[in-house]
Amino acid sequence: MANLSAGFSRVVINPESGTPIEGYFIERKTEGILDDLEINTLALRMGEETVLIMSMDLCQIAQRTMIRLRESAAEKTGVALDHVFMCCTHTHTGPFVVFDHTDPLVRSYSEKLLVWVAEAAQAAMDDLKPAKVGWGVGSCDIAHCRRLRMKDGSIRTNPGVGNPDVLEELTPMDHRVNVVRFDQQGGVSVVIINYGTHPDSIGGNKISADWPGFMRRTVELAIPEARCLFLNGAEGDVGVLDIWAKGGWFNDTFNDFDDVIRGYGHSRWYGRCMAGAVLQVYDKVNYFTPDSLKSVEHTIEVAAQLPSPEELPEAHRINDLHLAGRDSELGYEGMMLTTVVAEAGRMVRLEHGPESFSMPLHGVAIGKVALIGIAGEPFTGIGTGLKETDGWDLILPVCNADGAEGYFPMQECYDEGGYETRSSPFKEGVAEHIIEEGKKILREMEND
């Protein structure tokens, strides 16, 4: 049996001042750096198999752009393209990555990222050392369902802390914090951390890795030999906003344009909470000897949520007003404004199809520990559905992996409505299809 080797690298990927920031339906441009954005890379090797796991402090990258970044890493290192697992942490204070963007600063940043990705991949490969691996599961309750049922029966996303019209959160949260630790012989301890929620706790026009960055730094200060990379989980319906919050919870916060409580100190608190969950299990991981290292990527087909002819005139009106900077004429505020604008944009984009989309689904297995990378924002039910697959010690669902194509709501959520389902380019049934196809990959990796 071949022994496992692991390598780690970290590369800073900050944008220039003035570079547009992704994450909201309003224009923002970089006015400074609160903390560094990073690519954190883990290289793994067993015998003839080599896998790169790359986590970037960016909001999201479409698969047509992500494939070029993955190719850059593969070409630099010689690692097979389908063995390059690349994801975004989903921070909402990071720049756009689009090679043909209208803004030259975005185009310039995207080209620089190609180089940084290659450098990060090669540096992790150069750091390969014999390693042992272990896993553990902690707990942290910062995640809240951001889809709320209102007293009038409607469904709203982030309706505002203390809103008296809120009746209940819709979905029970998965508070498990998955930890996989690789201890290099004579080197560092590389720690994968997997948890599902939105890194959207800061706002504003300054660059930050949000709470995943605070989490990494806090863990590494507590454990000097540790190096962390964060793989965000099933977070499509999950936020860090506690609708029932009171008292000291509001320290270091402000009420942002969309009725979401944000603040840099708020982000620090979330990061410290998550770091505590990692420290719960770091010293008590279950070490094991993996019998194999595998990477399997499938392409799946998912149906599009097409607009009806009757919906299109109003969608065009809303979309045109939004693009003209005239949101004030739409008659909506806060998250409801975001909802109607996002829905209209989806309808306009899909006016002429396509009827379906091709999308990657990527599995990596280290013995009986598996990652399932999903090219967008899966709902909690997808994560728990995949985790229930028999035959595995630990399954880590990972969002925005190898692409970022939109929200993947559960079937019942389409009946309920809300921002995510109204804006999703995918037809109902997409979540259940992803679970089914993900389980196929898990079975393939288990039996191969």
Q: Express each pLDDT in 75-91 by its tens digit.
A: 999 999 999 999 999 99
Beta partners for 12? 38
pLDDT digits (tens, 9 = 90+) for 333-392: 888 898 999 999 999 999 999 999 999 999 999 999 999 999 999 999 999 999 999 999
Map residue 259 onto helix, strand or coil. Answer: coil
- For residue 230, give every residue at least 6 positions away whose Cβ sits within 8 Å of its Cβ, in sequence order, or none: 40, 55, 89, 193, 194, 195, 212, 215, 216
Q: Would you state the pLDDT for residue 280?
A: 95
- C-beta separation of 22 from 200 below 8 A: no
Pull the structure tokens for residue 70.
Answer: 């993955």
**For residue 427, how far is the Cα from the chain centroid?**
21
- Measured from the Cβ of residue 131, the count of other Cβ atoms closer than 10 Å reads 22
Q: Would you state the pLDDT for residue 334?
A: 81
- C-beta separation of 231 from 87 below 8 A: yes
pLDDT digits (tens, 9 = 90+) for 39-73: 999 999 999 999 999 999 999 999 999 999 999 99
pLDDT digits (tens, 9 = 90+) for 250-302: 999 999 988 889 999 999 999 999 999 999 999 999 999 999 999 999 999 99
pLDDT of 1 strictly over 80 = no
Q: Would you state the pLDDT for residue 426?
A: 97
Give the whole-number percent of the chain exceeding pLDDT 90. 93
pLDDT digits (tens, 9 = 90+) for 5-30: 999 999 999 999 999 999 998 899 99
Which among 142, 136, 135 is positioned nearest to 174, based on CA atoms? 142
- C-beta separation of 147 from 167 below 8 A: no
Q: From residue 101, how far is each of 90, 96, 107, 109 by CA, in Å?
A: 19, 9, 6, 10
Which among 64, 85, 104, 27 is positioned nearest to 445, based on CA atoms? 85
AA letter at 378: P
Pull the structure tokens for residue 263.
Answer: 């603040």
- What average pLDDT does this structure show over 206-225? 98
Pull the structure tokens for residue 363.
Answer: 């599995």
Provide the pLDDT confidence category of residue 240 given band limits of 50, 70 and 90: confident
Q: Would you state the pLDDT for residue 257?
A: 87
Q: What is the DSSP letter of 250?
A: G
Map residue 366 onto helix, strand or coil. Answer: strand
Q: Exposure of 331 by Cβ count < 10 A (0-12 exposed, 13-18 middle, 19+ buried)? A: exposed
Predicted structure pTM score: 0.96
